[in-house]
């Protein structure tokens, strides 16, 4: 009988293209393990929406293993202590896992690897969640990249990522199977049932990821660049939460689209598909930055922004969180987020810009809210996105770039359908007043039963006023 090896699952909740599991199968009988240890990820333990997704993803992964005669062993507590207990219980000779790149997890994993090797075990980690290892990409000056375009070129100049490898149809089973705590004992689901919208929107797990990939291949890939900025359309893959939890590998996505590119004869279709692959490299860039500059999870990359005159306005922050800012596009996005755990990326840029520019509330407040409410909350992407908007990160939008939410709505939600869905208070207004109720004549508002400040809020800060104040704050920073 083969000796046992623990395969420690984290953000790689799949069987396809699973390098740690594949390595275990070479010499060992694998025992799949997941350890719930959120305190080890402080100051960014998984938020409420992430825990909801994780519960269902773990259930799906366990079912996949059950179908192959195994099961997923669940434990909670110190990762190192639980691994050592499992080694004692099973006599396992090795522990394999796929790497993560968040600062707290990197430090934890280094300690785990060192201790396991000290005990005489085989302890190996693998690159299963990124196309390229962050430490391997450096500028010609041997420095980390801070601008996306040269980073993108450097990635494309690397040897092609390895093709994904499917899991064998059968898995060897170890006779002495360790005990597992019930999934419910991890208490990942909300005690108050606020998750109905997420249940109706998502199918966590590997099969859900494959369903979305196939839909995007057939319905969205060749129009991606044309439709990706339209929140009223299903123009993106919506694979981000599946990719974050590792329910599908970036290698599988990369080669699926590359193979489609090889079949395309239309220049336009190829351009659209290459645009989506570019976004996959943008994700790599986010992880590269967080790995190279771990302090950016809580502090700006550009240290001069430490002195920015942010405002303390908890009342404005609450209104923003609840979708009550008086800007229909922003409010639609915040309500979509609260209901479904997701928000269209174009709208994310608008809601973030309003918070850090018009309201001048610290970008970390927005990052924390997204972290708790997004099902695709990813520390690298969340950090890059918020620092990009605030102008304080790598390759950031300049701070003086301030989105006009009304013009953005007219450009990217031209029929007003997205706003009408999520902000029904203004759905009866014609265009362009639906984008900007403040511009509507009193008679028009009265006809629709709208009383600004009561049935729908006035803007917390009017656009021209907010823009001027943001630029004035930037001027003080420069001086």
pLDDT tens digits, residue range 255-293? 999 999 999 999 999 999 999 999 999 999 999 999 999
Compute the distance between CA of residue 181 and CA of residue 294 in angstroms, rounded to an integer. 33
Report the pLDDT value the prediction gives residue 82, as an integer from 0 to 100.
Answer: 98
Report the pLDDT value the prediction gives residue 396, as an integer from 0 to 100.
Answer: 63
**What's the rounded mean pLDDT across residues 125-134?**
96
pLDDT at 473 > cutoff 80:
yes
Name the token pair of 391: 């102008």
Report the pLDDT value the prediction gives residue 381, as an integer from 0 to 100.
Answer: 97
Report the pLDDT value the prediction gives residue 401, as an integer from 0 to 100.
Answer: 84
DSSP string, 261-318: HHH---HHHHHHHHHHHHHHHHHHHHHHHHHH-GGGGTS-SSGGGGG------HHHHH
- Beta-sheet pairing, 122-126 with 94-98: parallel
Span between the terminal Cα atoms of the chain, in Å: 72
394-406 residue pLDDT tens: 876 676 789 999 9
CB atoms within 10 A of CB 457: 18
Report the pLDDT value the prediction gives residue 399, as an integer from 0 to 100.
Answer: 66
Residue 459: name the closest of 310, 318, 316 by CA.
316
183-238 residue pLDDT tens: 999 999 999 999 999 999 999 999 999 999 999 999 999 999 999 999 999 999 99
145-176 residue pLDDT tens: 999 999 999 999 999 999 999 988 889 989 88
Compute the distance between CA of residue 431 and CA of residue 406 in angstroms, rounded to an integer. 11
Report the pLDDT value the prediction gives residue 448, as an integer from 0 to 100.
Answer: 95
Question: Could you tell me how many residues make up the chain?
Answer: 479
Find the angle CA(312)-CA(317)-CA(319) to the nearest 5 degrees.
140
51-60 residue pLDDT tens: 999 999 999 9
Residue 364: name the closest of 295, 433, 438, 434 by CA.
295
Report the pLDDT value the prediction gives residue 468, as an integer from 0 to 100.
Answer: 96
3-class secondary structure, 123: strand
Assign 3-state DSSP to the chain and report helix, strand, coil percentages, each to 5: 55, 5, 40
Q: Is the dihedral of CA 138, 144, 150, 153 positive or negative?
A: positive
422 confidence band (pLDDT: 50, 70, 90): very high
DSSP string, 196-239: HHHHHH---SHHHHHHHHHHHHHHTGGGHHHHTT-TTS--S---
419 confidence band (pLDDT: 50, 70, 90): very high
Report the pLDDT value the prediction gives residue 420, as an integer from 0 to 100.
Answer: 98
Compute the distance between CA of residue 348 and CA of residue 16 in angstroms, rounded to an integer. 31
- Beta-sheet pairing, 29-36 with 73-76: parallel
Report the pLDDT value the prediction gives residue 394, as an integer from 0 to 100.
Answer: 87
Compute the distance between CA of residue 145 and CA of residue 286 in angstroms, rounded to an integer. 11
pLDDT at 375 > cutoff 70:
yes
Q: What is the reported pTM?
A: 0.97
Compute the distance between CA of residue 162 and CA of residue 187 in angstroms, rounded to an integer. 37
Half-sphere CA count of 390, side-chain side, radius 13 A: 31
176-192 residue pLDDT tens: 899 999 999 999 999 99
427-471 residue pLDDT tens: 999 999 999 999 999 999 999 999 999 999 999 999 999 999 999
**What's the rounded mean pLDDT across residues 336-342?**
98
């Amino acid at each position: 009988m083969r000796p046992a090896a623990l395969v420690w699952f984290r953000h790689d909740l799949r069987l396809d293209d699973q390098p740690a599991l594949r390595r275990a199968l070479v010499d060992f009988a694998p025992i799949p393990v997941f350890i719930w240890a959120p305190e080890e990820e402080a100051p960014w333990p998984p938020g409420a929406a992430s825990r909801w997704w994780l519960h269902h993803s773990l259930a799906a992964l366990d079912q996949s293993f059950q179908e192959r005669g195994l099961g997923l062993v669940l434990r909670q507590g110190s990762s190192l202590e639980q691994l050592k207990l499992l080694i004692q219980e099973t006599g396992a000779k090795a522990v394999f896992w796929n790497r993560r790149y968040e600062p707290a997890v990197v430090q934890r994993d280094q300690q785990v690897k060192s201790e396991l090797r000290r005990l005489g075990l085989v302890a190996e980690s693998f690159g299963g969640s990124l196309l390229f290892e962050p430490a391997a990409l450096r500028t010609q000056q041997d420095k980390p990249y801070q601008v996306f375009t040269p980073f993108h070129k450097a990635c494309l100049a690397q040897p092609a990522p390895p093709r994904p490898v499917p899991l064998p149809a059968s898995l060897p089973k170890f006779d002495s199977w360790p005990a597992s705590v019930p999934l419910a004992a991890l208490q990942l689901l909300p005690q108050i049932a606020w998750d109905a919208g997420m249940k109706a929107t998502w199918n966590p797990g590997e099969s859900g990821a494959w369903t979305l990939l196939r839909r995007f291949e057939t319905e969205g890939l060749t129009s991606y660049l044309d439709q990706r900025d339209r929140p009223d359309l299903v123009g993106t893959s919506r694979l981000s939460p599946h990719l974050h939890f590792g329910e599908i590998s970036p290698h599988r996505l990369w080669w699926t689209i590359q193979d489609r590119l090889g079949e395309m004869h239309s220049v336009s279709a190829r351009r659209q598909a290459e645009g989506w692959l570019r976004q996959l490299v943008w994700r790599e860039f986010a992880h590269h930055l967080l790995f190279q500059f771990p302090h950016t999870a809580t502090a700006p990359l550009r240290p001069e922004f430490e002195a920015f005159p942010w405002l303390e306005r908890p009342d404005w922050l609450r209104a923003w969180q609840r979708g009550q800012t008086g800007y229909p596009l922003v409010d639609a996005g915040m309500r979509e987020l609260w209901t479904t755990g997701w928000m269209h990326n174009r709208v994310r840029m608008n809601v973030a810009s309003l918070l850090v520019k018009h309201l001048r509330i610290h970008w970390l407040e927005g990052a924390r809210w997204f972290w708790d409410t997004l099902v695709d909350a990813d520390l690298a992407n969340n950090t890059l996105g918020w620092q990009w908007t605030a102008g304080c990160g790598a390759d950031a939008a300049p701070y003086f770039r301030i989105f006009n939410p009304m013009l953005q709505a007219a450009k990217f939600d031209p029929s007003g359908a997205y706003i009408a869905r999520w902000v029904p208070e203004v759905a009866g207004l014609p265009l362009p007043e639906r984008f900007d109720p403040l511009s509507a004549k009193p008679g028009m508002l009265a006809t629709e039963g709208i009383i600004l400040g009561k049935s729908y809020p006035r803007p917390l800060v009017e656009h021209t006023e907010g823009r001027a104040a943001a630029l004035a704050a930037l001027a003080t920073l420069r001086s």
